[in-house]
Amino acid sequence: MPAILTLAICQRRLRRRMALWLFGYERYYEVGTLLLNFLLNDIEGPSIMLEPDHNPNPRYMVDPPRVLRWLMSKVMGRVANTAQIHKKRRAFEAKRNRQNEPHVVEYFHQLDDPYSHLMAQVLAQFAERYQVKVVPWLIRATGGKHQPEIQKLRAWARKDAQLVAPHFGLAFPEAAGLIPEATALKVAASKLIALDAKDFVQQLQSVSEVLWSSDSEASEVGSEAEIEAALDAGSARLAELGHYSGATLYYGGEWYWGVDRLFHLEQRLQDLGACHEPHAGYLVPRPIIDVEGIDASGLNLDFYPSLNSPYTSIIFDRTIALVRACGVNFHHKPVLPMIMRGVAATPAKGRYIFFDTKREADFFDVPFGHHVTPIGTPTRRAYALLPWAKSKGKDVALMSGLLRLAFSEGKALHQSKNLRSAVEAAGLDWFEAQDHIQRDDWKPWVSQHHEEMVEGMGLWGVPSYRLSGPEGQSDLEVWGQDRLWLVAAEIRRRANL
C-alpha cells in the first residue's frame, strides 16, 4: 500500500477515535466547554492593547493547531444543531409528561440588577398567561470571572435598562442610582423571602418599584441570617444549573436572559400548547428594525465588529442592510478578538452565548453554526488585508465574507484556499493580496478602534455601535446584536428632528 494512502487512513482513524472520545463520554461536556472558550471571548474584559507579550491564555487557545480546530468545529456543530436542540426538548417534555409534572420555570432575581427590575414588571403577567409554575429565587451578583468589571457592568446595565425600557412598554426611574442603597436592599429582600412562591411573583413588581424609587420608604429589616440564607440558596441553585446572571429564567435545560429573551420562552410554551391566550402575541416582542424611507445622511454610525464573535456573525449583514436602507454615514471599525488580548470567558458564559446565538439566528432565519474558529493566525492574516481592502472600498464585503465562511459555511480560514475565496468574493485580487497578508500596518488601525470602544465609549463587548449627530444630540453608544433595533429607532428619531 502506498505510504501516502497509509498515512491518510491513519489520519482518518485518529480523527474517528478522537471524535468518539469527544462525543461518547462524559468528557464531551468538559472538553466542549473548554473549546467553546476559544471562540467566545469577545464578551467582556476591557483592554486597549492588541496582543500582550505574555498572554495568560495558553498558546494552544490563542493559536489552536489544525486538529484542535477540527475538533472544535465538531463540538460547535453539535451545540448549534437545530435538530439536536429540538430532540433534547422532546426528550425533556416526554419525561415531564411521564412524571405528570407541570411546566416548571425557575426565575433568578437579583435585587440590585436593573435588568431584574425590568423582568419584575412582566413576571406576574407571564405566570398568568402561561400554564407554568414559577419558582423564584433571590441571588447575589456573581462577580469574579463571570463579571470581572462589576462596576462598569453596573453602569452599563443602568444606562441600557433605561434606554430600552420605553420601547418594551416598561419603565426605569431616571432618578435611580447605579444600585439601591444597602438598607433598602435588605428591606426588599425581607419582604420577598417572607412570601410563598405565588405571592413572591405577584408582589415582586411593587417591591422592586419601591426599591428603585428615589423615595423608598424606611421599613424594618428582617433577620439578616434569613436574608443571607435565601441569597446563598438562590446563588447556589444558579451555579448548580450552570449560569451566572440575574433576570434569568430556566426551563427544560435552557436559559432565557432578561426581557430580551422572554419571547423565546413564550414561543416554546406556545408551541407546547401551554398558553392561556395563544393569539395574544408576546408580552415583550423584539422591536423591529425599520429605517425604510428615512434619510440619515446627516448622521454617523461607527460599527465595532470582531471576526471571532458569534453575535457579530449574525448581525453583520443586517447592519449593512440598515446602512444601505437609510444612507447613514458608516464607519467600519473591526476590533481584535479578546482572547488574543489575554481576556478569557468562563465556561458557563461560553456555553450560554454560543447556544443563545444559535437560538437568535434560528428565530430570525439567519444561517449560523457550521463553524471553524478563525482565532489566532487566521484572524491576523485577515485583519492584515482589511486596510488594503478599505483603500479599495471592499473592507465591509471582505469582513462579511470572512464571517460567513467561518460561522455558517464551516470553511477554515487557516486554509489559504478559503481565505482566497473570501478575498475574491469581495472583488479583490488574491495575488495582490499577497503583498499585504504579512504586513503589520493594520495593528495601529485596530488598536485605535479598541481605544475608542473601550476607553472612549466604556464598552467592552462586540458588536458595538456609536450613533452621532445631528449637532446638539449626545452620542448613542450601545453594544450587542440585540440592540440594532435600538440603533434603528434612534436613527428614525434623529432623522426627523
154-200, pLDDT tens digit by residue?
A: 999 999 999 999 999 999 999 999 999 999 999 999 999 999 999 99
Domain architecture of the chain: domains with CATH: 84-271 (3.40.30.10), 300-495 (3.40.30.10)
Q: What is the mean pLDDT of residues 310-322?
A: 98
Report CA 185 to chain centroid distance, whole Å.
Answer: 28
408 within 8 A of 372, measured Cβ to Cβ: no
Distances (CA, A) of 272 to 209, 358, 403: 33, 21, 35
Which band of pLDDT confidence, cut at 50, 70 and 90, is reported for residue 25? very low
pLDDT at 18: 46
d(CA 449, CA 327): 22
Average pLDDT (115-121) is 98
- Which cell numbers in the block locate residue 76? 460547535
Q: Which of the residue ranges 37-41, 273-277, 446-450 would you say has the lowest mean pLDDT? A: 37-41
Please give the grid coordinates belonging to residue 107.
426565575
- The percent of residues in the chain predicted with pLDDT above 90, rounded, is 73
Task: Characterise 471 by phi-psi region: left (phi > 0), alpha (psi -120 to 50), beta (else).
Answer: beta
At residue 29 the predicted structure's pLDDT band, cuts being 50, 70 and 90, is very low
Helix (H) or strand (E) holding 488: helix 484-495
pLDDT above 70 for 218:
no
The set of cell numbers assigned to 344 is: 478569557
For residue range 358-390, list pLDDT tens digits in order.
Answer: 999 999 999 999 999 999 999 999 999 999 999
Q: How far is CA 369 from CA 186, 260, 287, in A?
A: 44, 21, 25
Residue the block writes with cell 463553524: 371
**Least confident window among 32-41, 146-155, 406-415, 438-447:** 32-41
Give tens-digit pLDDT for 478-496.
999 999 999 999 999 999 9
Q: What is the pTM of this model?
A: 0.89
